[in-house]
Chain A
């Protein structure tokens, strides 16, 4: 534990780093596949510096931050050895009271889900004021109120005077996250730990929050330890990067160096797995009737009330028209609340549209009844987002896969042959049939989920955020799988996602949705390279790691892929 031998990536300055972690080891409870959640981790965070810890799930990045905050769950994770120094002071074995004084005061944390991190029954202004009540008791009420206001305007919230009386549910996700940041900044802590603070946010709010964090550290002199799984976010804000894998640091250094010249094979693999707008899907010739056609589809939710004037309505879908060609992958992108999931649910007949028509093979779906409606189920299948909840935990995979075909009276031998075939297609072993869902990882379950959908020999596959819950490398594998399924079986795929990078990689055509309407539809290349609507331009500009970099070293996001090269420069929107 000799500090002299630690790699010093820090800029030359005589002040001690804000955070100095030395040879940290956090022990896992026995019986797991590895002994340490965090194994011999050392790095530093300096004032006004943003250090990103990147890694996939299980890499120990969140455990590291919990250890710093003294929030390791008692009894399961134990800090075995190593030192944590906060502004030169050893807090490794600080007691509960000492830590409580430090939290909020000298270090503060921002969480992934701002809705659950804020008290839903308390006005946001009061929640910020509470920080002062604990850490600065001598402040008067007037003083606290003015500081709260200053903080709210500091994090660029509109109308702070009004907004501080709002409850968390009245704010948008991005606004809530900014309230969290204001709370974190309240006592001007030297260190802010942000654990995936933008993962739950829409891409435009994400861009705003990242910009804000970047800008605030200059004004408040705080260091930021930023935990993320997304290398594009790293590219956007990091000064230095720490790459973790299975509890160990595999690589650390200046952000530009690591991103441009990754030395460790794991970093290289993660960087290569990032979805890139390389437009792999070649445009299809639109011969033949569309597999699916949607005309002016609308879904309006109405609150019920005795009085007409008190009834409120929301248009989840406000007249959507689309065509999905045979063998085509159509991406539906948009932010939360844009109606993209509602559209998918209408097409899968989980929701009933209030107006408009859906035609499959030219036949209207809405008027199908009884036997025909059941047959429709067979032709349209869905792949769900959450791989952990999309299988009945009590049933073996084989029974789940067989359920659909059996419902339509297939005989056992046929079903068995088909299961073997589908498992092979999704590169899973046949022994999976005899296992329970909990025995598989997220990526494996998503493969099985695709296999289940394909068991029905569907013509149309609706994938609702099918890769959003997965690590990048697994995400890349599932995207490859969807590509090969499409090419081998010729199914049409409606690919719903909030992630434009993923859509650009997989889809032939892309429809951009906003507030229940399609604002733009076209080939993937056209939508990204020559967006026609302002909203699309805004979305593309918000993709992290895509905006022109501070040091100019970062590459433009969308490469032109296999076509004509050199038009990548056009991507940048005029501001």
Chain B
């Protein structure tokens, strides 16, 4: 290597923009592309539910009970003659909204707690012991208790499902902070008089984003499932609000005569969770250099 004169710079290949890199990554990864397409499709279906369905999900039609799929009722009807397609799509909409809210709350709260625990050494032990305590409570039990206390509205549900996720996020964020805070560039910044909050914001927070984005996808999947389980147990939302779990629960007595009532929401739930999980896995492979098989160019 000829010793270049110090003033010359290495060939400046400006890296392509982050967006373009992201698009290229998605296109070249079949798992990522497939799961993302499926996810977009499912979200679009539920978001467009009012326009895609002809029936009100709560409209009773006692004459059209337990009908198989037909031109009028594409996915058939349930035991009260309600349109199953609208119920599944509205239920999915509720699940997805809830999952988004839960992961947003869990990530933001967990991140703040994790940053505090990782950066302020004195707070570390008390905060993390509290988190250990929360982790010891079974998530479902907590949700059942909170719904029983606070009533089944969306706020209670979101909080009930978020709380058990927070310690996991906090631990992850803390571990990233602990390794990044030792980096010389962080010390250099502290050494030039940067206040602690600015150091956190500028130099430490950005490193936590990648693992937390991946974690968010897993929280989404878990939240969808928890909500469905609560609905199935009859502890979810009131019966006039369709939820995937409660649709399956209501269809269970009629499983022999009308299996589609259980089948369609079940398939929808499975596809949704599969898509979210696969997307999360692909994202992790992409973002976590230790697990990625491809060497970066």
Instruction: Name A's B-contacting residues (CB within 8 A).
Output: 31, 33, 56-59, 76, 245-246, 269, 348-350, 374, 377-378, 381-382, 384-386, 389-392, 394-395, 400, 403-404, 407-408, 426-429, 431-432, 435-436, 439-441, 443-444, 447, 449, 452, 455-456, 473-474, 477
Q: Which residues of A contact B153 (CB under 8 A)?
A: none
Against A, the Cβ 8 Å flags (1 = close, 0 = not) of B193-222 are 111001000110010000000000000000
B185 at the interface (CB under 8 A from A): yes
In the complex, are the beta carbons of B7 and A384 less than 8 A apart? no
- Complex Cα distance, B185 from A391, in Å, reads 5
B72 at the interface (CB under 8 A from A): no
Against A, the Cβ 8 Å flags (1 = close, 0 = not) of B120-139 are 00000000000000000000
In the complex, are the beta carbons of B189 and A348 less than 8 A apart? no
In the complex, are the beta carbons of B6 and A246 less than 8 A apart? no
B29 at the interface (CB under 8 A from A): no
CB-CB nearest in chain B for A383: B188
Q: Which residues of A contact B2 (CB under 8 A)?
A: 245-246
Instruction: Name B's A-contacting residues (CB within 8 A).
Output: 1-4, 6-12, 15, 183-195, 198, 202-203, 206, 295, 297
- Complex Cα distance, B6 from A455, in Å, reads 19
In the complex, are the beta carbons of A431 and B188 less than 8 A apart? no
In the complex, are the beta carbons of B1 and A245 less than 8 A apart? yes
CB-CB nearest in chain A for B189: A403
In the complex, are the beta carbons of B11 and A33 less than 8 A apart? yes
Could you say which of B11, B185, B206 contacts A389, with CB atoms under 8 Å apart?
B185
Q: Which residues of A contact B185 (CB under 8 A)?
A: 389-392, 400
Could you say which of A384, A391, A404, A440 contacts B192, with CB atoms under 8 Å apart?
A404
In the complex, are the beta carbons of B191 and A350 less than 8 A apart? yes
Known contacts A377-B192, A390-B184: A429-B9 contact under CB 8 Å: yes
- Complex Cα distance, B194 from A377, in Å, reads 10
User: What's the minimum C-beta distance from B188 to chain A, rounded to whole angstroms?
Assistant: 6
Which of B9, B185, B189 neighbours the largest number of chain A CB atoms within 10 Å of its CB? B185
Which of A56, A407, A449 neighbours the largest number of chain B CB atoms within 10 Å of its CB? A407
In the complex, are the beta carbons of B7 and A429 less than 8 A apart? yes
- Complex Cα distance, B192 from A381, in Å, reads 7
User: Is the contact region of chain B dominated by helix, strand, or loop, or is it mixed?
Assistant: loop
- Complex Cα distance, B6 from A257, in Å, reads 31
- Complex Cα distance, B187 from A386, in Å, reads 12
Q: List 8 A-B contacts (CB under 8 A).
A: A56-B1, A349-B191, A384-B184, A384-B187, A403-B192, A407-B194, A428-B7, A447-B6
Q: A390-B185, A391-B188 are in contact. List 5 more A-B contacts (CB 8 A).
A: A31-B297, A246-B2, A348-B191, A378-B192, A407-B198
Q: Which residues of B contact A408 (CB under 8 A)?
A: 193
In the complex, are the beta carbons of A389 and B7 less than 8 A apart? no
In the complex, are the beta carbons of B194 and A350 less than 8 A apart? no
User: What's the minimum C-beta distance from A250 to chain B, rounded to whole angstroms?
Assistant: 11
Q: Which residues of B contact A432 (CB under 8 A)?
A: 9
User: What's the minimum C-beta distance from A315 to chain B, rounded to whole angstroms?
Assistant: 22
In the complex, are the beta carbons of A58 and B1 less than 8 A apart? yes
- Complex Cα distance, B183 from A348, in Å, reads 15
- Complex Cα distance, B206 from A403, in Å, reads 17
Q: Which residues of B contact A348 (CB under 8 A)?
A: 191
In the complex, are the beta carbons of B9 and A440 less than 8 A apart? yes
Q: Which residues of B contact A57 (CB under 8 A)?
A: 1
Q: Which residues of B contact A426 (CB under 8 A)?
A: 6
Closest 9 CB pairs of A and B: A404-B192, A384-B184, A390-B184, A407-B193, A377-B193, A392-B185, A427-B6, A58-B1, A473-B3
- Complex Cα distance, B236 from A503, in Å, reads 72
User: What's the minimum C-beta distance from B4 to chain A, rounded to whole angstroms?
Assistant: 8
In the complex, are the beta carbons of B193 and A431 less than 8 A apart? no
Q: Which residues of B contact A33 (CB under 8 A)?
A: 11
CB-CB nearest in chain A for B204: A392
Could you say which of B6, B12, B295 contacts A477, with CB atoms under 8 Å apart?
B6
